[in-house]
Structure 1
Amino acid sequence: MRERISGVVIVVALAVIFVPMLFDEPDNADSRPDPVLTIEPPVEVEQRDVPAPEPPDGLGEIAQPQTHEQREESLAEAEEHARRVQSASDSETDALPEQGTAPAASEPESEPEREDPIAAIAQAADQRRSSSSSSAPAADSSGEWEVQVGSFGNPANAQGLVQQLQDKGFNAYTRPRGNSLTAVYAGPYASSQQAESARAQIKSSVNQNGMVKRVAP
């Protein structure tokens, strides 16, 4: 009996909910408001001509790697520039006075004599040049080692370096290389130790970074 009463109550509740929906009329579409489209006036913007952008210089260009010939020429130019700077420095050093100036007569006798710093520098440079020339390793015609001092594209510059090395007491000579270069050598020497010693003295004498190598057969 309870179950029947519960079923009747449920059916009545559903009828109360859904029956009115069956008899309601749908909303009239004409009664809905029409959409309104609003177009605002355009905003005035000042117009002016703008130049076309230009790409920066070098954009899109790819640097090509240097060839062996170009690297040799760059090295030769750098060595030639260093030699010119060293030659100018040696010329200025040679032009300096060799003795210090005498003290002025008006100075009191008790004041010690002052040494000229320029004269001291010149004397030290002369002593350094004389010591380097006198201590240059003796060359051996049958030696297997030599010092490659530099390579030059201009043969005249190579001869100038040869003369400069000979003035310092080194046995210098030239030999043609590939790529139209002229190489300057010092030697030959009986051992690699003598060649290394000569390379160090060449560095201190003419400011050239040499390279010890075997004499080409």
Structure 2
Amino acid sequence: MAELDKGLKQRIVGALVLVALAVIFLPMLFSRPDEQRQVVVDAPVMPSMPAIPEQSVVPVEVPEPEPIPEPPQPPQDQVGSVPVQPEPVVTAPAQAEPAKSVSHLDANSLPVSWSVQLASLSSRERAVELQQRLRAQGYNAYVRSVDGMNRVFVGPVIERAEANRLRDQLNRQQKLNGFIVRFQPEQG
């Protein structure tokens, strides 16, 4: 009788497993939940652009820069080779506080800055060629025409020491013996 009960138990367990599987999977086969389900999105209406208040513009009078004496110019069509006397160095008293960053402004409240003059050429085309060559190598080069001469500069930089480094770098890399001058904004 034990063998008969064992076989009967296996058949009953098998039948129960089949019924459980049928209960789980048959509804999936006969219904299509993706067709019955509809998604509705209730999004708010896009807000209108806020009104931007108008700004009034007040013109400001810019003072004319003070003319400074021009440094001596190299001979015509020669790359800068005239030396310039260095600016005197002012040192702080020994008991002064540690160095603080001070902005240097001239009499017109414009920042004091420096450029390296590399050449003074009579040919505008040659001056522009040199400017373009320097710009292609990453230098901030510009040309100013004064009294029929076209001067090629690199700069401006704020610190005199940085101008010295720039002059030395241009001398080494470009073989241009320039000299340092005060940067003057173009008058227009």
Do the two structures share a fold, i.e. TM-score over 0.5?
no
Larger helix fraction of residues = 1
TM-score class, shorter-chain normalisation, is 0.3 to 0.5
Structure number, greater radius of gyration = 1
* TM-score, structure 1 normalization: 0.35
